[in-house]
Structure 1
Amino acid sequence: MIVWLSWRLEALGWATVWKALPVSGAFYAAVLAAYLVLPIADALIYRRLWGVGLRRSLGLFFRKRVYNSALVGYSGEVSLAVWARGRVHRSDPEIFHAIKDVNLLSAVVSGCGGALLVVWLATRVALERLPSNAIIWWGAATVALAVALPAVLLARRGTLAMDRGDILAVLEIHGLRFALGLGFLLVQWWLALPAASVSALLVLLAIYVLVGRIPFIPNRDMLFVGIALAVSDHLALASAPLAGVLLASSALQQLLHLAVFALSAVAGGVEQ
């Protein structure tokens, strides 16, 4: 993982990354805050479900974030299941059901949030102006899933193994995580691109959410950068400043991935 992340940064180009970095300290604070949201939310969820303390598990959930973001989606869940076996006082089926339920509830929250952004996008932007029909089709799929998934979960009570109290608690944590994560991301772009309109930034946010909903693809961050640059002219965003911000943000993500993975490995924060 360390070699892979180092290679990714080398491919971006250290000099190019350095020139693209924003100078605002608030920007870096927002990047760090956004990075912390997901692993802390995961730690809180599994502390409730498995009784695992934050100190014991936080390094694990940082590594889980690295696996899912830098490698392939859901590889982090596989690493979590492997870690939990023998370390959590639950049977294998209970461990797998908990991970499955947490991801289903996450899909409900992010799907509904993404659907709201897509509906806003459809009412504010001429979708035919977007350069890729794939964005439109995936937006339609997101709205359909946002309607269908909760209905399926309600219709089939055996789909979720959690009790009602745990379901509500996990939904609350996922909802807060989703709102904070997107809020910090929007703050980053607003600080780095002060000339951009709020509408344009919200369109980028909608596309970011759509890309995040595509399963089993390697490194969604780089895919989002490519799509964002493709739609920049349609959003009246200058390509060069946008490319610099997104490149800097992507590079910072890789640096944070590299740092947390290396630190957790050196400190022995995750048992092997």
Structure 2
Amino acid sequence: MTAHAAFEVPGNRIIDPEPLVRTGRSWTKWIGPVISVLILASVVYQLRQMDVRRLAALMPSSPVFWTVIVAYYFAGPISEWIIFRRIWSLPVGGFPALLRKLVSNEILLGYLGEVYFYAWARRHAQISAAPFGAIKDVTILSALTGNLFTLLMVAVAAPLFGELHLGMNSRAFVGSTVFVLLLSAAMLLLRKRLFTLPKRELWFVTFVHSARIVVMMLLAATAWHLLLPSVALTWWLLLGTLRQLLSRLPFLPNKDVVFAGLATFLVGSEHEIASAIALFSTLILGGHLLVGACVGLSELAREGHQE
């Protein structure tokens, strides 16, 4: 079965919102190529800003490290493929669409990837019910699961933050935590209106999102440990957990600076830790640019062939 083949949505009879149905599929014909062009333009622009020589000099040669980096990068799209495989019986041929979704969100604009994936589902698949509800539920549950993990981490790490004096504004920290708590509570209270998938599917999606968060934190910690073996893996696991926490708090400025300060205070070796964290982040960005170039060119090539 290819990406253009039909797949079904078992037991799902929800239809798309009327404005989306009324516009038909005309907009889905051009949204894919437009996003692909934007991805390629962003790739070219960011490559000009990247110090490729310095990055190449810092790259380790360990195959284990590169295996961990690749696993970390693809953990998100693989988890989403598992989810939509369950909901839609999505074939393997649909995986590139999830990669475009990831790259669109990361190097263009948050949630633009969901728009692209919806357009792809409308155009390239015959679904027994509309894809809007499933994509919406999966996206909301991703945010809700991340928020709940963040609140759990706040409860564990709050005393640590108070003792480190890392320059974080306490009001911003408390305000961010309250915001996440209220947003999560609102999602739970309005779940009957927000969600359209059956309860059993919602629990499955939540489980996969939770597993993804844990796996990605473990992989990030392992990658940092391989870069700096002298630093115990347990410290990197703690730092990975706190990095996840900081990434979810909306009112804290300069999160990367705060995280670097936290890592330095806890572990020491400021220059080495900063370099390891910077290299990891740069490699992930490089992965986005490489995948973005590949999926962008393949999308445009396919559109040109179809014409």
Q: Identify whether the pair has TM-score above 0.5, normalized to the shorter chain.
A: yes
Q: Does 1:70 align with 2:70?
A: no
Matched, 1:83 2:114: no
* Amino acid aligned to 1:261: G
SS of equivalent to 1:85: helix
> Does 2:212 correspond to 1:183?
no
Equivalent residue for 2:70? 32
Q: How big is the shift at 1:197?
A: 4.9
In structure 2, runs of 5+ residues without a counterpart are 1-38
How far is 1:38 from its partner?
A: 0.7
TM-score under structure 2 length normalisation: 0.73
Match of 2:7 in 1: none
Alignment correspondent of 2:149: 113
**8 Å CA contact retained: 1:142, 1:210:** no
How far residue 125 of structure 1 moved from its aligned partner, in angstroms, is 4.0
CA 1:14–1:182 in structure 2 vs 1: closer, same or farther (change >3 Å)? same
> Please, what TM-score do these two structures have when normalized by structure 1?
0.81
Which whole-Å deviations, capped at 9, do the CAs of 1:233-259 have from their partners, x for residues lacking one?
433432211222122212211221122
Residue 250 (structure 1) aligned with residue 285 (structure 2): no
SS of the equivalent of 1:132 reads coil
Deviation at 1:90, TM superposition (A): 4.3
Say if 1:212 and 1:71 are closer, same or farther in 2 by CA, change over 3 A: farther
CA distance in 1, matches of 2:143, 2:297: 33
In structure 1, the gaps of 5 or more residues are 216-222
Residue 168 of structure 1, aligned match among 203, 208, 214: 203
SS of 1:161's equivalent in the other structure is: coil
Q: What is the CA distance between 1:198 and its match in structure 2?
A: 5.3
Which has the bigger relative contact order, CA under 8 A and spacing at least 6?
1
Q: Of the candidates 241, 253, 256, which is equivalent to residue 272 of structure 2?
A: 241
Aligned to 1:12: 50
2:246 maps to 1:208:
no
* Matched residue, 1:219: none
Q: Secondary structure at the match of 1:36?
A: helix
Q: Say whether the 8 Å CA contact 1:9–1:254 is kept in structure 2.
A: no
Q: State the Cα RMSD in Å.
A: 3.0
Greater Rg, structure 1 or structure 2? 2
> Does residue 194 in structure 1 map to residue 229 in structure 2?
yes
TM-aligned CA deviation for residue 122 of structure 1: 1.2
Which is further off, 183-192 or 132-141? 132-141
Describe the shift of the 1:7–1:265 C-alpha distance in structure 2 as closer, same or farther (beyond 3 A).
Answer: closer
State whether residues 59 and 264 of structure 1, in contact with CA within 8 Å, keep that contact through their aligned partners in structure 2: yes
Cα distance change, pair 58–144 in 1 and its aligned pair in 2 (3 A): same
Question: Counterparts of 2:203 and 2:73 in 1: how far apart (Å)?
Answer: 24
Cα distance between partner residues in 2 of 1:124 and 1:270: 52
